Every structure is written in structure tokens, then in C-alpha cells.
Amino acid sequence: MVLSNGDRGWRRLIKDFRRSFQIYREFLRGFRVLSHLGPCVTVFGGARFGSEHPAYHLAREVGQALVKSGFAVMTGGGPGVMEGANRGAKDAGGHSIGCNIKLPEEQDPNPYLDDWLEFKYFFVRKVMLLRYSSAFLV
């Protein structure tokens, strides 16, 4: 292997290798936690709706209906519509999963989660939200 930038090239290569390993570890952790899921539906929705908003109530009803139909409910794990769907799943006695993103000044996971994963890399999170779901609601 020939690197034209000398030491700087090697440092960049090592940094890229470390980042690749971190990404790989995030995938493995997600696969390990989520691979046991049966039928699942991912609900995508805004985080800015409070618990009194009609969208929150609708998401809660949808979460309940999904569980009663035999599905687990997965969201981004945050507040708003995501929380409503997870809360509905918990209300109905179902499995509620959140895949949160680790960002500065971003929300904490909502309190209605049975399983919760936190991701540093946005695209890994999206893969997990899509990989284990049979359907998607937006």
C-alpha cells in the first residue's frame, strides 16, 4: 500500500478504520437487540407535538391498534408522535421499541419503551428502523 501524504495519510487511514469499526459495532448491537422481534411496524412522526395535540392522540390510538393486530411498535424513541405510538403500544400490552439518535441538545428517550437503542450514526439508525419492520407509518 502506498500513501502519498506520509504520516498524515496514515493518521487518516487509522481514523477511518476506527470510525468503520464504530459503525460496525452499532450495526451489530442493533442486530443483536432487534433480531428477536416478530412482526413490527415503524411509526415515523414529529417530536414537537405535545401530549394534548390531536396527532399525539391519533398516534396513541394507532399504537394500540397495531398491538391488537399482533405487531410490535418501533419509533425513533423521542417525544411527540413517536411517544404517542409507543405509549399506545404499552397501553395495549405490546412491545414498544425506540431507536434514538445521539445528538447535542436532542431529546431523551420517551418513557414508554421496552427496548431502547441509541445511535451515533444517523444512517445506522435508519437501517434499524427499516430492517425489522413489515410496514411503515408516517
Q: What is the CATH number of the domain that holds 18?
A: 3.40.50.450
Q: Does residue 1 lie within any of the structural domains?
A: no
Q: Does residue 79 lie within any of the structural domains?
A: yes
Q: Does residue 71 lie within any of the structural domains?
A: yes
Specify the pLDDT at position 6: 64
Q: Does residue 32 lie within any of the structural domains?
A: yes
Q: Does residue 2 lie within any of the structural domains?
A: no
Q: Domain range holding 28?
A: 7-137
Q: Mean pLDDT for each 10-residue chunk of the chain (138 residues)? A: 68 95 98 95 94 97 99 97 98 98 82 96 96 96
Q: Does residue 85 lie within any of the structural domains?
A: yes
Q: What is the pTM of this model?
A: 0.88
- Total domain count for the chain? 1
Q: Does residue 21 lie within any of the structural domains?
A: yes
What is the number of residues in the chain? 138
Specify the pLDDT at position 4: 60
Cell of 68: 391488537
Of 109, 105, 131, the C-alpha closest to 118 is: 109
Of 11, 27, 39, the C-alpha closest to 99 is: 27
Q: Does residue 81 lie within any of the structural domains?
A: yes
* Cα 48 to Cα 92: distance, rounded to the nearest angstrom: 24
Specify the pLDDT at position 1: 53
Q: How many helices (H) and strands (E) does the chain have?
A: 4, 5
Specify the pLDDT at position 13: 92
- 76-86 CB burial, b ≥16 within 10 A, e <16: bbbbbbbbbbb
